Amino acid sequence: MKIGELSKSTGASIRSLRYYEQQGLISSRRLDNGYRDYYSLTVEQVKTIQFYLQLGLTTEQISGFLNCVMTSKEAFCEQIMPIYRSKLKEIDEQLALLTSIKSNLEERIAFLLEENPKLKEDIKDEH
C-alpha cells in the first residue's frame, strides 16, 4: 500500500508517517519507481502508535515496546508499566505546578480587585 492509502486508512498525515518511519516505528519497502510500499500490518502499527501518542508518550518511548505490543499474544507487555508510571509522575508534577500557578493568579486577581474597586465594575460591564 502506498503512503497516501496508509494515510487515509489511519488518519495519520503523510508527514507523520514519514516521521514514524524515520524513527524506526514502521517500515516500508521501496518500489522500482522509488515510492514507499507499506505492508498491510502497518495500518495496525500506526493505529497502535497513535493510541500511545494520545496517552502522551513520545515516539522514543513507544519504540521501546512497540515490537512487544505488536507481537505479543498477551494483553500486556512488561516494558510498558515503567513508562506508564514515569508518565503519570510527570503529569502529577505538571498538575502540581499548574495548580500553584492557578492559585497565584487567583490571589493576584483578588488582590487587584480589592485594591481597585473600578476593576470590579469593569468586569460586571463585560458580562
What residue segments make up the domains of the chain, in order of their start? 1-57, 79-127
| Global pTM exceeds 0.75 | yes
Question: Number of H helices and number of E strands within the chain?
Answer: 7, 2
Q: Beta strand 28-30 with 36-38: parallel, antiparallel or unpaired?
A: antiparallel
- Could you give the CA distance from residue 17 to residue 42 in angstroms, rounded to a whole number? 10
Q: Average model confidence (pLDDT) for the chain? A: 91
Place of cell 495548580: 99
- Could you give the CA distance from residue 62 to residue 83 in angstroms, rounded to a whole number? 9
Domain 1-57 has CATH 1.10.1660.10: yes
Q: Is the pLDDT of residue 73 over 90?
A: no
- The percent of residues in the chain predicted with pLDDT above 70, rounded, is 92
pLDDT of residue 7: 97
